[in-house]
Amino acid sequence: MSVRETAEYLNVSISWIYKNSAKSGLASYRFGAGPNAKLRFKISDVEAWLKQQRAM
């Protein structure tokens, strides 16, 4: 999924994805180098991360 699709799926802003995905443990895949690199997310990784975030 793209950053935009992931943000919509999680109901967060695109900037949150860029700033917090790595810190929060949400696995991403980087294509390219430098400021033009594209982030992508696997739906299965996003769903697994989401299950881990569930409050008890």
pLDDT tens digits along 6-16: 999 999 999 99
Buried b (16+ CB within 10 A) or exposed e, 7-42: beebeeeeeebeeebeeeebebeeeeeeeeeebebe
Query: pLDDT class for 55, splitting at 50, 70, 90?
Result: confident
- pLDDT, tens digit, 9 for 90 and up, residues 23-51: 999 999 999 998 888 999 999 999 999 99
Q: Whole-model pTM?
A: 0.84
With residue 40 as reference, give the H or E element that holds it.
strand 38-40
